[in-house]
Amino acid sequence: MKRSQRVYERLVQAFPHEFKLAHGEEMLETGEAAMAHMGKRRGWAGLARLLVDAAVHVPIEYFSEMRRDLQYAARSLVKSPGFALVGILSMGLAIGLTTHVYSSNWAMLTRPMEGVAHADRLVMAQMPVSYFYIERYREQGNVFEGVAAFQTAVPFNMRLPGEADNKQQRIFGQLVSPDYFRVMGVDAQRGRVLSEAMDHAGDAPTAVISDKFWRTRLASRSDAVGLVLRVNGQAVTIVGIAPRGFEGALAAESASELFVPVTAPPAVAPELANDVLHRRNAREFWALASLAPGVALSQAESALDGVTRRLDADDPLAPPQSDKARRVTLLLAGTRAPIPLELKRALEGFFGVLMGVVIVIACMNLGAMLMARGANRRKEFAIRMSIGASRFRLARQLMSEGLLLSLLGGLLGFGLAYMLHVLNAQMYQAVDAPGLPELGIDWRAAVFAFVAALVCGVALSVAPALRVTRSELTPALKEGPAMQLPGHRRFGLRNLAMAAQLAGSLTLLLITGFVLIGFARAYRVQTNFDPRTMAMASIDPVRDGESPEKALDLFARLPQRLKVSGKFSRIALTTLPPYAAVDDDDKEPLTVDDPQAAQRVQQAAVKWSVGAGYFAALDEHLMSGREFNDTDERSLMEPVADNATRLMPVVLNETAAMKLFGSSSAIGKHLRDRSQGYEVIGVVHDLKSGMGIKQAIAYVPLSREDFVRSRAAGITILARAKPGMDGATAVRDVLSSLDPKLVPFHVESLSDQLAISRREIRSAMRTYGGIGGFGLILSAIGLAGITAYSVAQRKREIGIRMAVGANKGQVLRLVLREGIALITVGTAMGFAGAVLVSKALSAATSVIADALAMGTNDPRLLIGAPVLLAALALVACYIPARAVLRIDPLKALRTE
Amino acid sequence: MTMKQAEQFLPLKPQWFHILLALAGDEQHGYGIMQEVLERTTGKVRLWPATLYGSLKRMIEADLIAESSKRPRPELDDARRRYYRLTPLGRQVLDGECERLQGLVHAIQMKRKMVTG
């Protein structure tokens, strides 16, 4: 009995303060009486009910108090709409922005591919290899559960059922080995996936389509499985539909809509021509493997490296290599964009820190604002305390205001993230490019940001709440906000926090500025002519159903036909659009072929096939030597028995020439790659890519191989239109008159093409610009809050100063001085932060490193950013500081 | 205060009904209400302390009852106790609930007569 009485007393003590104040003693009395009564009549069952009743009501009463707190907080926020708006906006911006950044960038890197069961075990080699090699890799059964091969971004000219005959569409998909789906662990949502058991060479062509293809191009028709498509003029049967969201490996580079097995005949996919599956040097496939359970990435890497070395050594055509470096690097491939393990960890940290910093800055702001507001409401709190409100009660009140602001900010943030997502999606749609991934808002990120904001919002309002309610009642009642708070120090926690916040904002601003200016400089492609006059169109006659001979003939006649049309001043052919950026993966090592040299010089370079007059078409003068002419091209059209002995002319760009030959002249020197010897005939200036990257490039003439083999990018025609001519239409006309079967694609002007290539950069610039602008807004808000707080605190002091003769300008300066000290300290810290972060960022990704290198020495930014921030900060200080001008010395002194 | 306002509370929660009924006669303190209900229902209904005081708090907020300033004679008074009385709205709500219950009882009786003939 005694024990239950003690438990009951404890429970009564646990009730909220207000409840205890009103009913605590009576509850004890009633409980005791009930217990005495019950002991006699109901025994233990009655006691238990008494205790359960009390225990159940403790949380109920707390909830009821919280509801009242929130109602009260809502009312008091409605009364100061400016404060509420600023608080909600800053929290909303923080949550919205971090969610958006996470959803669009981070998720792309780390989210497992949809519909893939083995996502955590998938790896792929960084460089493409031949199908022949992949078949050898498969023999490593103890390391891998399976190794699949695929080619991505393969174009398929397709006529959909029910569409007019002449309406061909170019759809991008993959050529995959039949075990591709098994290796990834992907099951069909309808029909079946491709498999080794069902798909053999010589069978009727089959394909698996993506869910997106089924929904958008086939209108989700129920009879899709079994439907026959015309792919490159051939009948291909759909055997299954991939699960929703699955867009193939490397989806970030190119989302795939169609999966065709490599067992299909070359007529369906010209990529499969020339016995590509058996030629050991046809490095055209990506190796995608599923690690066996318990096998580490490094283990698999060294196993593959060993196999590759053996295979390379057995290759009679390959030059002997003695390098010790790994020849195979494996990437984690379970995500939309495969990245190396170390980079993934670095990026994980970077994104986490970035999101954390933004949210913490916003919450610190909220804390500063709540503190300023609390200082102004000290009298209200003192009155409430003197009539019985507990300190905890009032602190809870301030905390519920913080909670409510975070809550409303969170809702706004969701809205903002959604809006940004829609804007992004619209912008992507506006640019007609193949395979852009469909990325929604990552709800986990949104929830994380929301919860983080709530926790921070509450946690950061604890300090101001406790501080404001720690005052002596009598002076607070007398003086209200004018009272000096205990523990105010010029460099106290609050001011340090404020300086840190300013520093954080400046760091954000500088970094984003560096990156922005760097990008803007790096991506400004300098053409020597108006890029709008350059029409571009790509064609791929073999895929359009022409025989190799017909294609050769077509390319031979094409330049002449364009010339005689009289609409173009310059014409050239190329395998890649000018100023395109090429992946580092596509580089091949070139070696200086000089028997007398003591040391073998090697340099990886992009091989880029261009036709005669390519540089003339771009108005680029060669630094030395000459460019290709028709004779070079014609001599290469003749098939020869031994490719290895024939020297192919090559034009190097400045970077490649510098790396291979240093300052000595490159003209006439010889080079080798794995299969071919070259003679340097010219050196040309670096043509910076649209991505701002300077790469070592070896330009080689277009050869027979380029014309007769179908390639995803096709052959691009460059035609500079004469003034007043519509180049694109004229090129189309000439092409259709030359061969009506041709399906030209990527028909656009060079300026359009450059704009597309800068799409990702623009999106990055928007993100970083948004973060920088956000930092500015936040720091201004924070400073304004702090200054308002400081003015409220020093009202009496200022009153005295004014009473003894200080004029308004002097007191204004007094208040601003503190702000300026904070700004100075914050700026110094911000610079240091920017240097540190830019170093860390440069180490993490090369794209940002390039931009940073170009942006960091820009005086506009180094001087402009701190000046802009300081100016804004001063304005933010000045507006609330003007409150001192309204201080009436008589009123301020009346309390003395 | 209108009848409409009172109707919002109907049907009344059983413990609220018992409290209003206990206060219908005279002003009472919490323990007194508990005892009164216990006696009136011959021990069938017991308002446990947390339920009782939680209800009292909410009924004050809803303006159905109010704290009374009248105290009993000093020799009978306990300073810790608060006394409650019905507000006009509380009385209306109680009347409304009684009418509702009477209607219900009447309906049951009619039905029984029809069945038994």
Q: Residue A437 has what pLDDT? A: 45
- Concatenating the DSSP letter of every residue in A84-126 gives HHHHHHHHHHHHHHHHHHIIIIIHHHHSBPTT-TTGGGEEEES
Q: Cβ A54–B29 below 8 Å, yes or no?
A: no
Rounded mean pLDDT of A586-613?
79
Nearest to B80 among A19, A29, A60 (CB): A29
Contact of A27 with B53, CB cutoff 8 Å: yes
Contact of A680 with A658, CB cutoff 8 Å: no
Chain B residue with minimum CA distance to A62: B54
Report the gap between the CA of B6 and the closest CA in chain A (Å): 23
A822-857 pLDDT, tens digit per residue, is 788 888 888 888 888 777 767 655 555 666 666 666
Token pair recorded at residue A237: 């049967």
Rounded mean pLDDT of A193-201?
90
CA distance A73 to A457: 14
Chosen for mutation from B31, B34, B61, B78 (greatest number of chain A CBs closer than 10 Å) is B31
The verdict on residue B28 lying in a domain is yes
Token pair recorded at residue A604: 């990886």
Question: Across chain A, what does the average pLDDT equal?
Answer: 79
Q: Cβ A34–B51 below 8 Å, yes or no?
A: no
CATH of the domain at B18: 1.10.10.10
- Residues of chain A in contact with residue B31, where contact means CB-CB under 8 angstroms, are 26, 29-30, 33
Contact of A225 with A309, CB cutoff 8 Å: no
Q: Half-sphere exposure of A188 toward its Cβ, with a 13 Å CA cutoff?
A: 18
Is residue A341 over pLDDT 80?
no
Token pair recorded at residue A392: 């905890």
Residue type, B12: L
pLDDT category, A487, cuts 50, 70, 90? very low
Nearest to B31 among A22, A26, A49 (CB): A26
Adjacent-strand bridge partners of A124:
A288, A331
Report the gap between the CA of A372 and the closest CA in chain B (Å): 32
Nearest in space to A208 (alpha carbons), one of A224, A184, A230: A224
The verdict on residue B96 lying in a domain is yes
The verdict on residue B30 lying in a domain is yes
Q: Cβ B31–A56 below 8 Å, yes or no?
A: no
The verdict on residue B60 lying in a domain is yes
pTM of structure: 0.58
Residue type, A531: P
pLDDT category, A180, cuts 50, 70, 90? very high
Q: Half-sphere exposure of B97 toward its Cβ, with a 13 Å CA cutoff?
A: 23
Nearest in space to A259 (alpha carbons), one of A335, A318, A322, A171: A171
Nearest to B80 among A26, A57, A58 (CB): A26
Is residue A438 over pLDDT 90?
no
pLDDT category, A283, cuts 50, 70, 90? confident
Nearest in space to A707 (alpha carbons), one of A130, A273, A254, A176: A273
Q: Cβ A19–B57 below 8 Å, yes or no?
A: yes
Q: Cβ A30–B31 below 8 Å, yes or no?
A: yes
CA distances from A575 to A254, A541, A579 (A): 19, 14, 12
Residue type, A201: A
CA distance A672 to A665: 17
The verdict on residue B2 lying in a domain is no
- Residues of chain A in contact with residue B43, where contact means CB-CB under 8 angstroms, are 41
Return the H-helix or E-strand segment holding A291. strand A286-291
- Residues of chain B in contact with residue A30, where contact means CB-CB under 8 angstroms, are 30-31, 34, 49, 52-53
- Residues of chain A in contact with residue B52, where contact means CB-CB under 8 angstroms, are 30
Nearest in space to A139 (alpha carbons), one of A287, A25, A329, A253: A287
**B35 lies in which domain range?**
10-116
CA distance A521 to A853: 11
- Residues of chain A in contact with residue B30, where contact means CB-CB under 8 angstroms, are 23, 26-27, 30
CA distances from A192 to A172, A413, A767 (A): 21, 42, 41
Nearest in space to A242 (alpha carbons), one of A179, A194, A177: A194
Contact of B92 with B69, CB cutoff 8 Å: no
A725-779 pLDDT, tens digit per residue, is 788 888 888 888 888 878 787 788 888 877 766 665 666 666 667 777 777 777 7
CA distances from A568 to A563, A575, A737, A743, A754 (A): 6, 20, 16, 21, 21
Please indicate whether residue A478 or residue A384 has the higher confidence score (pLDDT).
Answer: A384
Contact of A719 with A522, CB cutoff 8 Å: no
CA distance A74 to A405: 9
Counting every residue, how long is chain B? 117
Give buried/exposed letters for A582-595 (b at 16+ CB in 10 A, else e).
Answer: beeeebbebbbbee
- Residues of chain A in contact with residue B29, where contact means CB-CB under 8 angstroms, are 26
Is residue A431 over pLDDT 50?
no
Angle at A402 between CA A398 and CA A407, to 5 degrees: 140
Rounded mean pLDDT of A156-175?
75
Q: Could you give the percent of chain A with pLDDT greater than 70? A: 79
Token pair recorded at residue A304: 């593959």
* Residue A270 CB neighbour total at 10 angstroms: 24
Q: Residue A488 has what pLDDT? A: 45
SS3 A220: coil
pLDDT category, A434, cuts 50, 70, 90? very low
CA distance A152 to A173: 6
Report the gap between the CA of A36 and the closest CA in chain B (Å): 13
Helices (H), ranges, A681-758: 704-708, 727-738, 750-757
Q: Could you give the percent of chain A with pLDDT greater than 90? A: 10
Q: Residue A319 has what pLDDT? A: 59
The verdict on residue B4 lying in a domain is no
Contact of A715 with A707, CB cutoff 8 Å: yes
Contact of A651 with A681, CB cutoff 8 Å: yes
Token pair recorded at residue A146: 């399976």
Give buried/exposed letters for A735-744 (b at 16+ CB in 10 A, else e).
Answer: beebbeebbb
Contact of A679 with A623, CB cutoff 8 Å: no
Residue type, A98: T
The verdict on residue B3 lying in a domain is no
Eight-state DSSP code of residue B12: P
Most confidently modeled range among A106-115, A366-375, A671-680, A836-845: A671-680
How many domains does one find in chain B?
1
Contact of A704 with A693, CB cutoff 8 Å: no
Burial class (CB in 10 A: 0-12, 13-18, 19+), A536: buried
Q: How many CB pairs below 8 A link A and B?
A: 57
Please indicate whether residue A615 or residue A583 has the higher confidence score (pLDDT).
Answer: A615
Is residue A795 over pLDDT 60?
yes
Interface of A with B (CB under 8 A): 19, 22-23, 25-27, 29-31, 33-34, 41, 49-50, 53-54, 56-58, 60-61, 64
pLDDT category, B54, cuts 50, 70, 90? very high
Report the gap between the CA of A75 and the closest CA in chain B (Å): 18
Nearest to B50 among A22, A25, A54 (CB): A54
CA distance A93 to A505: 14
CA distance A612 to A570: 11
- Residues of chain A in contact with residue B44, where contact means CB-CB under 8 angstroms, are none
Chain B residue with minimum CA distance to A50: B48
Chosen for mutation from B34, B53, B58, B80 (greatest number of chain A CBs closer than 10 Å) is B53
Chain A residue with minimum CA distance to B60: A22
- Residues of chain B in contact with residue A25, where contact means CB-CB under 8 angstroms, are 80
Rounded mean pLDDT of A503-531?
73
Q: Residue A167 has what pLDDT? A: 62
CA distance A225 to B109: 69
Report the gap between the CA of A30 and the closest CA in chain B (Å): 6
